[in-house]
A and B are shown apart, each in its own frame.
Chain A
């Protein structure tokens, strides 16, 4: 019982950079939604059922330009395909875990929770209770801040205290923590270059998937060559 409490507590305390970063983003989404004619309950329903920052921004913009619901759903699907990769990488840490837990956990898989959870898992001493607590804390913050944006977003000064950089800062540190060998360093380098090129040349968010798969493959081949085990 007490170990569960500890797990929940460490999940909560690990979630603060995500929550801090979600706040300004959630508020600005709320402001856009309000301008686009969404009511607070509509924003709440979307944040609860979708819980995906970038697709919600796109959806609100597309709703404003009278796009068809089918086009919005398809775009959402394309934008979120990158989560296939994250969910696959996370699966390593949940061997034989019950379907019910996984169904609930999957709901909270975002770029941010994925990055923090993966880093914590690989460092060790991170339980799946902590991981799901972190997901839920991030989700709650997202829900509250998007709805708050609909009500009071216009009153908050833009760029207050550098909060807009919180998630970027968090990603940078998590990347540093992930680069613990030459293969990972090469992967990061290739991903950076390919991602910029793909961002410039490919539409939408395809750049994330293209760059990640190319870079992980490059790092994988490099590691294979290093260990001299050959490619058979």
Chain B
């Protein structure tokens, strides 16, 4: 793709990315939020994290199917246990990587 066309494309993409990130922050940060909305928003991190993680562990992508034998799922078990036990972000990331690496080695004969 040539220069002006490509520039318009990434500018459009940039705007489509930036606006959803910026508008709620701008609008909601200078307003007193209703307690109900605040309570609901407090649950959003746990909700989004679970929603992002679950398909990575329980599904395959092309075609989209339920699949319970992914190496990601096997590695997630010790990772989750370690996170619950230690609550250490650094430790969990390292244990997770080691577990995923080990699962990869064990699976390939």
Q: Which parts of A99-144 form the interface with B (CB within 8 Å)?
A: 99, 102-103, 105-107, 109, 111, 114-116, 118-119, 122
Asked if B39 and A50 make an inter-chain contact with CB atoms under 8 angstroms apart, the answer reads no
Q: How far is the CA of A69 from the CA of B10 in the complex (A)?
A: 9
Q: Which of A4-12, A148-156, A192-200 faces chain B?
A: A192-200
Task: Determine if A225 is an interface residue (Cβ-Cβ < 8 Å).
Answer: no
Question: Would you give the shortest CB distance from B33 to chain A, in whole angstroms?
Answer: 7
CB-based contact B44/A212 at 8 Å: yes
Residue of B nearest to A231 (CB): B36
A-B contact count (CB 8 A): 292
Task: Give the bracket for the number of chain B residues in contact with chain A.
Answer: 35 or more
By a CB distance below 8 angstroms, the chain A residues around B52 are 111, 171, 195, 208
Over the window 1-43 of chain B, the binary record of Cβ atoms lying under 8 Å from chain A Cβ atoms (1 yes, 0 no) is 1000111111111111110111111111110010010111111
Q: In the complex, what distance in Å separates the CA atom of A172 from the CA atom of B94?
A: 12
Q: Choose one: B13, B42, B64, B101; the contact of A76 (CB below 8 Å).
A: B13
Residues of chain B within 8 A of A42, CB atoms compared: 1, 6
A219 at the interface (CB under 8 A from B): yes
Q: How far is the CA of A207 from the CA of B84 in the complex (A)?
A: 26
Min C-beta distance of A170 to chain B, whole Å: 5
The A interface is mostly helix, strand or loop, or mixed, namely: helix
Query: A95 → chain B, closest Cβ, in Å?
Result: 6
11 more CB-based (< 8 A) A-B contacts, given A20-B93, A162-B101, A165-B101 = A80-B17, A89-B41, A111-B52, A165-B72, A169-B93, A173-B89, A175-B46, A177-B87, A179-B46, A196-B58, A212-B47
What residues of chain A have their CB less than 8 Å away from a CB belonging to chain B?
16-17, 20-21, 42, 45-46, 49-52, 55, 59, 63, 69-70, 72-74, 76-77, 80-92, 94-97, 99, 102-103, 105-107, 109, 111, 114-116, 118-119, 122, 159, 161-166, 168-179, 183-184, 187-196, 199-200, 207-208, 211-213, 215-217, 219-220, 223
The 7 A-B pairs with the shortest beta carbon distances in the complex, nearest first, are: A169-B96, A162-B101, A165-B100, A91-B28, A162-B97, A191-B50, A106-B22
30 pairs, A vs B, C-beta closer than 8 Å: A20-B93, A46-B13, A73-B9, A83-B21, A84-B23, A84-B24, A89-B42, A90-B25, A111-B48, A115-B49, A162-B100, A162-B104, A165-B79, A165-B96, A168-B57, A168-B100, A169-B79, A169-B93, A169-B94, A169-B97, A173-B79, A176-B83, A177-B83, A187-B43, A188-B46, A192-B51, A195-B55, A216-B47, A219-B43, A223-B39
